[in-house]
Amino acid sequence: MFIDRVKIRVTAGNGGNGVTAFRREKFVERGGPSGGNGGRGGDVWLEASEGYNTLLHLRFNPEHKAGRGGHGEGSNRYGKDGEDKVVTVPVGTAVYDAETNDLLCDFTKNGERFKVAEGGRGGFGNSHFKSSTNQAPRYHQEGGEGDHLELQLELKLIADVGLLGFPNAGKSTLISVISAARPKIADYPFTTLEPNLGVVSVDEYKTFVVADIPGLIEGASEGAGLGDRFLRHVERTKLLLHLVDVSSISGRDPVEDYLAINRELLNYDKDLAKRPQIVVATKIDALDDEDRLETLRQKAAEDRRQFLEISSVTRTGTKELVFTVARRLDEITDTELASEEEDED
């Protein structure tokens, strides 16, 4: 089961209490204070791991507590520090404070760690308070309380390329042809109910990752259809492949579909709408009206977007698509590197 949004509660450990104690030893006339300090409470850490690709393991395990610090003891013995708690999340997880909705951390690399809740301090024992004017303090300090908060975790898949389009535009078929991914494919809308990732091999040494998200419809940015729940999964992509069905089987107008999806992108995130986009006409094996293809081609040219035509069923144009995407990703990477160097200057 693909779970991309969960709430969890994290509680850091309380600090141990200090203790009031005095030395009681034979032949020692003035024992003095000997109360040790309490140990620190354990912290709660979040750690990103490529071993997970969903938040399912946290859905039924929402409570996460670190160990509390041990209490101080006599003979100046300190309490043991509480054990830290490490919560593993998939790479691509964004962490929000559920109460304020503030972004606390965004994991983009394997092994990244973030301390989300700090353990309480250990309390001082009475030996800490001994001074020249206070030789026998008869008091100690209580341990501090650890942080506790509720977190909203949202997974955003990390992929190089995102597939967009109306339901049944051919996204799942395409990803099954160009990668080893095997999503469910059927001739009815919303067959894809959760995102799929596929690794595409360009040659022996080069690959890129494609994310296939469930089909969008008009009003998706406001919750229509499957809503905007899955749009976040293309937020991190460098390039968008906008698949448009040009066959007459759908009964839809290709240009209107193209414009509708781009409106949804703009309503959802202006930056996402500006992302590099290749327009891909699909199902050309079932094309029975050339005007449907040509009007879409003209519209893509007006918007200065690259245009390709494919048939995943007959594999027509799919190899060209893979090589075109690889070249475009290289261009985007080079542009990003150049802009970084300009920023440094």
Helix/strand/coil for 297 = helix
Per-residue pLDDT tens for 34-87?
999 999 999 999 999 988 888 989 988 999 999 999 999 998 999 999 999 999
| Full-model pTM | 0.71
Identify whether residues 178 and 317 lie together within a single domain.
yes
Confidence band of 334 (pLDDT split at 50, 70, 90): low
Same domain, 39 and 123: yes
* Cα 228 versus chain centre, distance: 16
Are 74 and 42 members of one domain? yes
Residue 112 confidence (pLDDT): 94
Q: Does residue 240 share a domain with residue 263?
A: yes
| pLDDT per position as a tens digit, 77-120 | 999 999 999 999 999 899 999 999 999 999 989 999 999 999 99
pLDDT for residue 293: 92
**Rounded to an integer, what is the distance from CA 195 to the centroid of its chain?**
13
What gap in Å lies between CA 300 and CA 293, rounded to an integer?
Answer: 11
261-287 pLDDT, tens digit each: 898 888 888 888 888 999 999 999 888
If asked whether residues 130 and 172 sit together in one domain, one would say no
Q: Could you give the dihedral angle defined by the CA atoms of residues 328, 329, 332 and 336, in that order, rounded to the nearest 10 degrees?
A: -160
Q: How far apart are the first and last CA of the chain?
A: 47
Q: Is 130 exposed, middle or buried (0-12, 13-18, 19+ CB in 10 A)?
A: middle
Residues 130 and 167 occupy one common structural domain:
no
Q: Which of 155, 182, 197 represents a domain boundary (last residue)?
A: 155
When mean pLDDT is compared across 106-110, 190-194, 264-268, 318-322, the lowest value belongs to: 190-194
Residue 58: closest CA among 104, 16, 90, 106? 90
* In a shared domain, residues 124 and 231: no
Domain span at residue 199 reads: 161-344
CA 299-280-210 angle, to 5 degrees, is: 135
Q: How many domains does the chain have?
A: 2
Where does the pLDDT of residue 337 fall: very low under 50, low under 70, confident under 90, or very high at 90 and above? Answer: very low
pLDDT digits (tens, 9 = 90+) for 222-244: 544 445 566 777 888 889 999 99
pLDDT (average), residues 185-201: 63
Which residue has better confidence, 185 or 161? 161
Q: What is the CATH number of the domain that holds 325?
A: 3.40.50.300
Residue 313 has pLDDT above 70, yes or no: yes
Looking at residue 38, the DSSP 8-state letter turns out to be: P
Give the integer Cα–Cα distance in Å for 86 and 30.
Answer: 46
Q: Are residues 277 and 181 in the same domain?
A: yes
Same domain, 178 and 299: yes
Residue 246: name the closest of 254, 257, 255 by CA: 254
Give residue 256's pLDDT.
Answer: 92
